[in-house]
Structure 1
Amino acid sequence: MPSPLIWRAIWAVSIAVIVAVLAFVAVPYFASNRIVRDRIAWEMSAWSGFRVTIEGTPEIAIWPQFRATLSGVTLSNWSDNKAPPVMQAERVDIDLSAMAALRGDVVFSGVQLIKPIFRIQPAEHGLLLPPAPSGGRVARAINAARETVKANPDKPNAVKLPTEGFGSIEFRDGRVIASIDGAEEDVVTGLSGMVDWEALNTSGSLTASGTWRGENVSVEANSPQPMLLLAGGAAPFTVSLKAPPANLSFEGNGNFSGKSFFDGQAKFSAPSLRRALWWLRAGIAPGATTGAISVSSKVSGNTDRVKFDNAEINVDKSPGTGALDLSFSEGLPVISGTLAFDTVNLAAFLAAFTTNAATPGDLDAIDTSFADRFNLDLRLSAAHATAGPIQLADVAATAQVKTGLAVFDISDAAAFGGNIQAGVRFDLRPEGTQVEMKLLASDINGAEFASAAGMTRLMPTGTGNLSLILKGPGKSWNSILQNADGSASATFGPGNLTALNLPAFLKRTEEGGFFALDEVADGTLPIDGAELKASIARGVARVDRAEAKSGQTKIWLSGIVPYAGRGLALSGGIVQPTQPAQPAPGAQPAPAEPGTAPDGQATSSQTTAATPPPPTPAPPSNAGNEATFFVGGTWTTPFVSPIARSKTAQ
């Protein structure tokens, strides 16, 4: 027979089983009658500070987890019955404590929002934030934390922070809607993620992903003291944003008060600077994927000003260092600073401010809307730089943008064996954009300049100076060049004239009939120097003087060269000295000296007296032979048509 001790154990186990069965049976009763009906909506409202309404009949699940499923849940502002809900969800699943339910209490351990819609609206500094609640446990906890921060702003006492438990909030397939002046639009779609915050005085984290401005974006943030941040105190935090157009991360300290500040290390990268600026709505038109950029820098500042110190920048695979200052205190953001590169691609930088070609073969259009979005004062220096095929060294450049004006200048650079200055200026006027371009070069090597510019015909190879100034209206580089006014001049010293076989050229002009310049381009002509002067009006260059000298030979051109159509309409000539005068047929030779025969032998005085007197010698001639011609066709396929060969003053 079992001992009394064994019987007591059997009875204890039996009672425990009966209690468990009764609890399992009783929980649905309490859940359906006391928690769901009387307490869940109230508890959600007590936490959030918003009025909570629940449509439909809640469903209670006991296994494998005690959970209430609610449908048609909305959170609204208590003070405005007509305002749209702050949050509404198609379904809300709440994980509850079964033991608390038996006591008639509600304890949330987790909340899942299915297809929620969050509404945000403009707040201070232009940010879009959800409306603030008028009360609730979270709001009261933040107010209590503010008092703790106010008592000791530099080092708040974390022990005095609220200790209420919070749990986790998960959301799936949600949307964020901006409500501005009664109109609503989607800001984020496909929103999923989680807020994990065990208690208000412990660490917390946020993970979220969704579609923002047409791109898939993921965000992660965490802090050991999120309550301090919400209360306006300083605390460490990290945040990262990842998207195809750009990646951004920050790790450091900061606060989220009215005069928030942050101090830490930031990183930014984008496969295309142009695309990233457009995606971030910085006033840059969309375009080709050019100008990759990455930035790593110490960052400090507040909502009025941000400083980037010891910045390491890589623009289109060109590393550099510098310091930047971003200010929001004026009407438009102001970016200023200095950057130094070992090598930089200037074309990639300017590519951020041009749009795709309007038509095939057209030069890029010019987008100047960026001047309405920010002001810029940037100074650049580079040991080496490229601008397309042009190689530069020891570059000093500036970029300035302010309302109505944008200027990009290379104030000094070594190139082509000499020095150059170049710049482009945009005057943004109500009647249209005026663009001015200039190129000044001194002591440059003509051969290097011609190679970089792709000018292979009739280019002098000596050392020279060059000036080109253009100014005109237009919205694309093509339209500016087609309507520009300005001037061009160049002088070159001794060297060669490329792609010209002068004997072959003269032979073809004597034969008559037009011919392609390429047919006589298999040679070079040594020259003593060359000079060009041209005026430009409405996109048409009028060549006033184009001359090259080779010994006693002079080559000249004049006429017009329009940019539109790339045509040629030039007159030219080649002037050569005449050959020494030959005796006319039948003329007598000049007499020998008296007493000397033509063969040098002595003659008698009688023979000398019988010789007829010599003719009067003609004065030396200064006349030369000139072959004139007309040059037509196009820039790429010029043709020559001989006119006449004449005698002219040399």
Structure 2
Amino acid sequence: MFWLRPRNLLATILLLAFIAGGILVALPSLVSTDLIRERLAQEISNWTGYSVEASQEPHISFFPTFTASMGNVTIRNPWATEGQPFMQAERIEVDLSLLSALMGKTEFTETKIIRPRFVLDEPIKSLADIGEALARSDGRIGDVVREAKAAIVANPAKPDMSTVSSQPFGRVRLEDAMVTFKRPINGAEEQISSISGVFDWPQTSGIASFQGKAIWHGEETEIDSSASKALLLLAGGSSPMQINLSSTPLTLSFNGSANIAKDRFFEGTLSLTSPSLRRTLEWSRMAEIPTAPIGSFTLDASVTGSSSRVKLDNLTATLNDNPAKGVIEITLNNAATGTPLGINGTLAFETLDLRSVFSGIMPLPDGSANSDAEINTAFLKQLNLDLRVSAQKATAGNVSLTKVAATAQVRNGRAIFDIGDATAFDGSVAGSFQLADEPEAGTTGELRLNGTDVNSASIASLLGLGNRFELGKGTVSLVLKGPITRWSTALSSAKGTLSMRFGNGQIRSLDLNRLLSKAKTDRFFSLNEKTDAWLSLDRLELKANIMDGVAALETAQIQNKLGTFTFAGIVTLVSKSLALTGDFAAPIATPAPAEGAPADAPKPEPMFNHTRFFIGGSWDNPFISPIISQ
């Protein structure tokens, strides 16, 4: 074994240091900046198929790594002679192989693009354009893209990629990038800023991935995506793809396949989670959303679609803790053709808050100060909707329903929300509400409610009449129509009709004998005076015409075995005031026919004893005063 003596060791070290120093001194002359600039421009052109320009000489650094940087870099589509360039970057830096440089070659291990500004027509369309540009370009990347295109032409359904060569691509790191693009369909300009991430594609035959983060519409968003057949995707074929997106308004995961050629087709599985669906839609700017709140949302579905249409099959979703299953198809708005956002489908719920669904489509009164705001009807022209909803159990405000079949439709400036069939108030109910924006009439609303075999106590409570009525089952019909700009004033300008008919029952805390006695003797008295008596009745019937928030009684009768109450007058629907006259007609027994009277003798006309009185006050606190008694 050979051992270096200390004197020999020192000499060796000095010799190596001398050689290393000589190499460092010689490096600038050994590595040509012109070669690096040419090689860098050529490599970027090979990546994109676009032409590359740099207005500054490359700057070479040897410590801590061997790098070259080039400032004011512009990349242009060589076939687009007008408009802004595809990319302008403040600086591009590349990590180089020192050994290759000393041998007269230039090999990049990583490329860093600093503060680039990309201008796209739209992301998918521009990515497809890059594929087309690569197919026309020289260099190894252009060669493999053309080979992949030939494989697709030979067998579009299942291209044979075994004949396509593989070339190194590398890693590209973005720092503080910005992308300006036009939205698909409506052409609105969008901007994604503060993009930082890594695009990694070691070999063209392998997986390409991008991991990074960006700011879109004021929210930081993290992105993790990959395409296992990226070359096939660029060449116009389909590739398996994964996309994971995470932000405060939305978490999204897609796992499937995509094609970015003219068909722009994708299919796979989609998962969404949003703490507020309304906030997510506003953030994504898919459509104008009414000011009414809408809650948390989750979705899992099989998805197929294109740049203009998305269909969600085998959908399971949860809206405000209301789980549903169904099918939804979405057509994105198109400014060029004037086509608004379209939503069609069916959803089946176990339990459902109808308000939470419909408030996501149009503004609804909520009892707050917002109820006095003007109703925003912009959605009537920005949305085409045909949504069919069913639920085993549902609520509409404080009303409980079962076996609900409902539809929501918005089209041509008109919205219709219809409950075709449901069980409520121990009977069957149906109802609809229409909101229309008409050129001559302005904004109008129409409400229709019908109940069959419904419980009167529940209806009375809904109408604000308290728990005084315990009648038999009956029918109710309400129709209201009129101009509507604010919920707070809608009732005061409405016109329509109200009718009710109920069978035998009773009215709580109403003593008939005491009422008749007081109506003859007292100046006025309250019907809310405590009493344990009940007024039994056989039938209640009411018909009223409604105009400008006032109900004028056309027919109002209560019948029992002792006589008939008849009412006339008006009831104000907003202030709940009463101005009625009442009449109780008690039949007077007619004497029996005298002995020996002929059998066909005319029967005497029935006689009645009338007690007339006035009813004032309010619905929940009525007062009575006498008019005249006989």
Residue correspondence of structure 1 range 383-532 to structure 2 within 5 A = 383-431=392-440, 432-452=442-462, 454-456=464-466, 458-498=468-508, 500=510, 518-519=528-529, 524-532=534-542
Match of 1:380 in 2: 389
Q: 1:361 Cα shift? A: 6.8
State how many pairs are aligned. Answer: 603
**Which residue is 1:102 aligned to?**
102
What residue number does 1:595 align with? none
Please tell me whether the aligned partners of residues 232 and 257 of structure 1 are also in contact (alpha carbons under 8 angstroms).
Answer: yes
Aligned positions of 1:358-373 closer than 5 A: 360=369, 362=371, 366-373=375-382
Change (3 A) 1:424 1:129: farther
Partner residue, 2:356: 348
Deviation at residue 566 of structure 1 after TM alignment: 2.2
Structure 2 Cα separation of the partners of residues 12 and 146 of structure 1:
58
Q: Deviation per CA, 1:293-349, whole angstroms, max 9, x where unpaired?
A: 322122234456544332222222222222334457994555433322222221111
Aligned to 1:600: none
Deviation at 1:206, TM superposition (A): 1.3
Partner of 1:599: none
Contact 1:413/1:421 (<8 A) preserved? yes
How many Å apart are 1:630 and its aligned residue? 3.7
The amino acid that maps onto 2:147 is A
The equivalent residue for 1:646 is 629
Structure 1 residue 253: Cα displacement: 2.5
Q: For residue 371 of structure 2, give the secondary structure of its aligned residue in structure 1.
A: coil
AA at the equivalent of 1:103: M
Give secondary structure in 2 for the equivalent of 1:159.
Answer: helix
Choose from 611, 614, 623 the match for 1:629: 614
The answer on whether the counterparts of 1:396 and 1:410 sit within 8 Å (CA) in structure 2 is yes
- Aligned partners of 1:506 and 1:627 also within 8 Å: no
Paired residue for 1:538, among 526, 548, 563? 548
The 3 A distance-change label for structure 1 pair 452 and 632 is closer
SS at the partner of 1:496? strand
Q: AA paired with 2:629? A: S
Could you tell which deviates more after superposition, 519-528 or 392-401?
A: 519-528
Distance 1:525 1:490 in 2: 19
- Alignment-derived partner of residue 558 in structure 1: 568
Give the deviation of 1:520 after TM superposition.
Answer: 5.4
Deviation sequence 1:182-222 (CA, Å, 0-9, x none): x9965112222221111211111112322222333222211
Quote the Cα distance in structure 1 between the aligned partners of 2:292 and 2:410.
23
- SS state at 1:202 partner: coil
205 and 121 in structure 1: CA distance in 2 versus 1, 3 angstrom threshold = same
Partner residue of 2:580? 571
CA distance in 2, matches of 1:310, 1:179: 32
> What percentage of aligned pairs have identical amino acids?
32
Deviation at 1:641, TM superposition (A): 5.8
Cross-structure match for 2:175: 172
Pair 418,76 (structure 1): closer, same or farther in 2 beyond 3 Å: same
CA contact (8 A) 2:456 2:469 kept: yes
Q: Which residue of 1 aligns with 2:61?
A: 61
CA distance in 2, matches of 1:314, 1:491: 40
CA 1:372–1:579: 2 relative to 1, 3 Å: closer
So what's the TM-score if we normalise by structure 2? 0.83
When normalised by structure 1's length, the TM-score is 0.81
**Is the CA contact 2:510–2:533 (under 8 Å) kept in the aligned structure 1?**
yes
Q: Does 1:208 align with 2:191?
A: no
- CA 1:111–1:368 in structure 2 vs 1: closer, same or farther (change >3 Å)? same
**Equivalences for 1:188-203 in 2 at 5 Å?**
188-203=192-207
C-alpha distance in 1 between matches for 2:97 and 2:540:
95
Does structure 1 residue 312 correspond to structure 2 residue 316? yes
Q: Distance in 2 between matches of 1:117 and 1:467?
A: 64
Which stretch has the larger CA shift, 194-203 or 138-147?
138-147
The residue aligned with 2:245 is 241
Distance 2:219 2:566 in 1: 61
1:624 partner letter = N
Note if contact 1:123-1:129 (Cα within 8 Å) is conserved in structure 2: yes
RMSD over aligned Cα atoms: 3.9
8 Å CA contact 1:34, 1:104 repeated in 2? no
476-485 vs 244-253, greater mean Cα deviation:
476-485
- CA 1:83–1:284: 2 relative to 1, 3 Å: closer
